[in-house]
Amino acid sequence: MRLIDSSIVFKKATGGNYQTLHIGKLAGDTLDYTYVASDARLFVNASLATDSQNKRVRADKLLIYGNVYGKTKVHVVEFSVNSRKKKP
């Protein structure tokens, strides 16, 4: 995958379900994969709110199986339960 002056933007999570983008090998795949970036941006959604019952941070994921070259700026967009409530 090559990202030149481009962005990967995950859609907002619905129903608490976040997304995962896999780049690279699948089961039985023998090819070598490379992620190359130049002025690339990655926008991920994350729920950073924790309480006594929920200590996990939930977020979108980018999994790369292979070589990585270049630079990618990661932007975290906080998405919490409170941000989903409608204001009167």
What is the domain partition of the chain in residue ranges? 2-84
Q: pLDDT digit of tens for each residue in the chain (88 aa)?
A: 889 999 999 999 888 889 999 888 777 777 778 889 999 999 999 987 766 676 777 899 999 888 899 999 999 998 765 554 444 4
Closest CA to 3 of 41, 32, 31: 41
Residue 84, SS3 per DSSP:
helix
User: For residue 72, which amino acid is it?
Assistant: T
Q: Does the model's pTM come out above 0.85?
A: no
